[in-house]
Amino acid sequence: MSVYSAFRTLVPVRPDDIDMNRHVHNSKYADYVLAARYDQMERCYGMAMDAFLERGLSWVVRASYIEHRRPLVLGDVAAVETRISEIRKHGVKVDFMIERESDGRTAARGWFDYTLVCAVKGRPQVIPDDVVAVYSV
């Protein structure tokens, strides 16, 4: 059981997210999680992506796992809940759950493993103590 807090962001489905199967294109779920993390970095952790970029740092995806349960369709709003499951020396693992906001049913779940990198060279960086502190809520 994770000791870290869960946060929730609403991401409305856009028509350009819909594919030939008339539901949200599978790779867009990764973009919904990304949108939720950006929102939560700023709104919930108080350390927006810009704060990292200003320090010459950026986050990149090292690995991800996505499980699709029910398709989201046009008109749906994705409720994206994320929660840090592990803070490592150079990275953070984040579990997510995407629900259809109208009825709370699970659309997708999985995790993203992010690495902190130097924005210019892309080399992994040790997560600074103040960032660890901010993420340890």
> Which residues make up the interface to a second copy (CB under 8 A)?
11-12, 14-16, 18-23, 25-28, 30-31, 34-35, 38, 42, 48-50, 58, 60-68, 71, 74-75, 110, 119, 122
Residues in Cβ contact with 72 at an 8 Å cutoff, skipping those fewer than 6 apart: 13, 23, 24, 78, 98, 100, 107
Contact (CB, 8 A) for 79 and 99: yes
Write down the least CB distance from residue 8 to a second copy, Å.
15
| Minimum CB–partner distance for residue 76 and a second copy (Å) | 12
At closest approach, how far in Å is the CB of 66 from a second copy? 5
Q: How many CB atoms lie within 10 A of CB 88?
A: 13
Nearer to a second copy, 86 or 136 (CB): 86
The helix (run of H) or strand (run of E) holding residue 43 is helix 28-43
Nearer Cβ to a second copy, position 12 or 136? 12
